[in-house]
Chain A
Amino acid sequence: MQNELIPHLFRTEFRKITAVLCKLFGIENVSIAEDIAGETFLAALETWTYKGLPENPTAWLYTVAKNKAKNVLARNDLFQNKITPLVQSGTSDNYLPEIDLSPQNIADSQLQMLFAICHPVIPTEAQIGLALRILCGFGIEEIATAFLCNKETINKRLYRAKEKLRTENVAIEFPPEAEITKRLQPVLTTLYLLFNEGYYSESNNELLRNDLCLEAMRLAQMLLDYPPTNLPAVNALLALMCFHASRFEARKGDNGQMILYHDQDENLWNRELIARGAMHLNRASVGEHFSRYHLEAGIAYWHTIKTDTAEKWENILHLYNHLLALEYSPVAALNRTYALAKVQGNEIAIAEAEQLKLSNSPYYFTLLGELYKGIDNQKALENLHMALKLAKTQADRRVIQVRIDML
C-alpha cells in the first residue's frame, strides 16, 4: 500500500508544496522551493518506512515542508537579507513568515505560477517543461521520456528557463484584469501543446502519455475554477481535450500498437468525457470572440460521431475553412482536403491537393494515396511509396505499409 501511496502523494502534493513555496520565496528561488519539496518526500520515505504511516500523511508532509522552509529562511543569508525584511513587521527579530498551505492559497499559488511560467520571455518548449516539473510534479526522467531526449537536455532547458525567469524578474501574481485575455494566450498555447505532446507523442510509455493529457486537462480546469479566467476560449480548449481524450482506450491495440480513428471500436469511446466536452463546448459558445480552440473543438465534436453523414463532413469542412482562414497550418490544410473529398468527391479533392505544395510531408502523400484509391490504384501506390520514403517514425511507416498491403 505504501508503495503506491507515496508516488500518489508525490504526484498530488509535490506540486502544491512547490507552488506555495515559489510564491513565498519569489521566482528567483524556484530551485530552492523544488529542493525543499523534494527533501520533504525523502524524509517521508525514510520515516514512514520505519515508523509506519502517519495518521494524516498529507498533513505530515505539510508540517515537514513548513519546518524545512522555515529552516532555510532562518539559515540562509539570502533570505535573511532579502525576504525576511519584506515580511517582517519589525516587532521581532525572529519573525518568520507563515507558510500557508491552505487549499485556497495552494490553488492561487498554482495559478499564479502557471501565468509566471507561461511568460512570453520563456521559449514555449521550456514553458512546457517547467509546467510539467513545477505544476505537475513530473520527475526530470519522466519529462525526458515524454520529449524523447535525455535528462541532461531537460536539466539544461529548465535551468536556462529558470535563469530567464530570474533575470526578467517575472512576478508570481495574477495578471491585472485588463491583461488577462492577452496573458492567457501563451498559457492556453502551452496547455494545448502539453496535451498534444501526450496525445501524439512517439514515446511508447502509454501511461505517461495519458498522464500528460490528464495534467493539461487538470490545469485547464484550474483556469475555469478561477472566475476571471473562466472564459469561452478556455472552455473551448478543455472541450477539445475531452473529445480527444475520450478515445484513449479505443486507440490502444492489444500489442500496444496504435489503432487509427476509422478502425476504432466506438464502444470503447468514453461517453462521460464526450458529455463533459459537450458541456464545455456549450459554455464556450457565448460572447463574440471566436478562437481556434472553438473551431478545433467543433471539429473534434463531429469526430465523436462515428457514422459518416453528409452533415458531419459538411460541418467539418466548414470548420476547417474557418480554421485555415484564421491560421494556416499544413495539418489543417491536409485535413481540410480530406473533408473536401468527403463532401465533393475525390476527384475535386485531388485537384486541390495537387496545389498544396506540401511535397516534403509524408502525410501529404498518404492523403494522395488515400484519395487515388479506387480511382487510380497505380497512382495510389506511387504516392504511398513516396510517403513511406518520407516517413520519420516507425509508427507512421507501419500505418503506411498496412495501406500499401491493402491495395
Chain B
Amino acid sequence: MNEYALIMRHEDGSKIASPEQMQAWMKQTMDWIGGIAVKNKFVGGTGLPFDGASVVGRGGLVTNGPFGDIKETIGGFITVRAESLEEAIEFAKGCPVLQGEGNTVEVRRIAKNDGTH
C-alpha cells in the first residue's frame, strides 16, 4: 500500500470567503476526510491558511502572500493510504475544493523511505 499526497490547489486564493462559507466548507471537508478515514485510509493533513502567507525568493526577498505573479495557491493537503493510484484519484474526486471553478487536486505518490522511491 502506498501513501499519496492530495494537494488542493485554488485558482484564486485571494478571494475572501464569508464565515458562513468557511463553515460550510470546513464541514464538507470533514465529511470528505471522514469518508476516507472510515476506510482506515486517512493518514493526516492540514489546511494552509492564506493570512500571513509569505513567499521567500532568491536573495531573501520576501513578498506577502503567495499571490503575486502566480494566482494559483495551495490551500492544504492530506495524505492517504491507497492500494493504487486509481484509488487515490477516487479519493481526490470527492474533495470539496473541486466545487470551486478552476480549482484542482493534485495526486502525488509519497516517496517511500526505503531508497526505492
Contact = CB atoms under 8 A, between A and B. Distances in A.
A333 interface: yes
B38 A337 contact: yes
A173 to B, nearest CB: 35
A321 B33 contact: yes
Contacts of B39: 333, 355-357
Interface residues of B, number: 11
B30 A328 contact: no
Contacts of B31: 317-318, 321
Nearest to A327: B37
A325 B40 contact: no
A352 B94 CA distance: 13
Contacts of B37: 321, 324-325, 328
A324 B42 contact: yes
A288 to B, nearest CB: 15
Interface string B34-59: 11011110100000000000000000
A75 B34 CA distance: 63
B71 interface: no
A403 B40 CA distance: 29
A324 B33 CA distance: 9
Interface string A25-59: 00000000000000000000000000000000000
Nearest to A321: B34
Contacts of B34: 317, 320-322, 324-325, 336
B108 interface: no
B27 A318 contact: yes
A328 B27 contact: no
A298 B51 CA distance: 30
B35 A352 contact: yes
Interface in A295-351: 317-318, 320-322, 324-325, 328, 332-333, 336-337
Residue among A325, A332, A356, A357 with most chain B CB within 10 A: A325
Tell me the interface secondary structure of chain B in the complex: helix
Residue among B27, B33, B35, B37 with most chain A CB within 10 A: B37
A325 B42 contact: yes
Contacts of A356: 38-39
A130 B38 CA distance: 34
B30 A318 contact: yes
Contacts of B27: 318
B101 to A, nearest CB: 25
A333 B42 contact: no
Given A318-B27, A333-B40, A325 B35 contact: no
Nearest to A333: B38
A394 B35 CA distance: 33
Contacts of A324: 34, 37-38, 42
Residue among A317, A324, A355 with most chain B CB within 10 A: A324
A328 B40 contact: yes
Contacts of B40: 328, 333
B47 to A, nearest CB: 13
A34 B39 CA distance: 47
Contacts of B30: 318, 321-322, 325
A135 B3 CA distance: 45
A392 to B, nearest CB: 22
Contacts of A322: 30, 34
A337 B39 CA distance: 11
A356 B39 CA distance: 5
A94 B95 CA distance: 77
Contacts of A317: 31, 34
Nearest to A336: B38
A133 to B, nearest CB: 36
A337 B33 CA distance: 13
A322 B27 CA distance: 10
Contacts of A355: 39
Contacts of A321: 30-31, 33-34, 37
A333 B36 CA distance: 10
Interface of B: 27, 30-31, 33-35, 37-40, 42
Given A322-B30, A356-B39, 13 more contacts: A317-B31, A318-B30, A321-B33, A324-B34, A324-B37, A325-B42, A328-B37, A328-B42, A332-B38, A352-B35, A352-B38, A356-B38, A357-B39
